[in-house]
A = this chain, B = another copy of it.
């Protein structure tokens, strides 16, 4: 904590030590009845921090190619997946002297939602280098850096917002049926929701428009469902109450 070791910098100048600046992205999807998150493996190189550990996709801001933090997050996403128009929102930032062994480091963390089928993992991607994991299982892995903390924060934020927003609509292919959307809600929340209340809430929300009856598939059983599209893919709808009248939150 002593400032005497470093050479004196001009009081108002910019020539002092700068923290490392990175961006990490928590990419969520729903697949196989589970909320999943994309992880990448750190290089297996002893000179690197946390070699061989799973981590969130991300990396240092490149001041030559990234115009902004958001741009940087989109670039990281593009490098790992073919996902093009995810729902993307900032989660917060984490910075300290100790979170990266290479020095004082601050990361700007985003989270993104994509339909599983929209993601084309990069051509050369191997399953032992980039892969989807159940969110709760990923939490129990020994992730690199403080990524377990970032993931926990992203999960809390997502689950909190799902209580009172239409966010899960970004985790599903369009057009979608209401029973399919309800299933996504239940997977994310980890509990069943009442069908009648769910339908009333969604239809009254006014954020969807009808997209015709579900296309018939072979072996499809039961009455076909109406399908819907989002009116506005840039933001989620807000409902006046949370599900179950429980106060649910996110840290933001």
Contact = CB atoms under 8 A, between A and B. Distances in A.
A61 interface: yes
Contact of A93 (B18, B92, B96, B239): B92
B106 A94 contact: no
A108 B96 contact: no
Given A103-B14, A241-B241, A249-B238, A93 B108 contact: yes
Given A18-B63, A69-B96, 12 more contacts: A14-B60, A18-B19, A18-B20, A19-B21, A21-B21, A61-B95, A63-B104, A69-B93, A90-B252, A164-B247, A238-B247, A238-B248
Secondary structure dominating the interface of A: loop
Interface of A: 1-3, 5-6, 12, 14, 16-21, 43, 45, 47-48, 60-69, 89-98, 102-104, 106, 108, 157, 164, 238-242, 245-252
Contacts of A89: 251-252
Number of copies: 2
A250 B249 contact: no
Contacts of A103: 14, 63
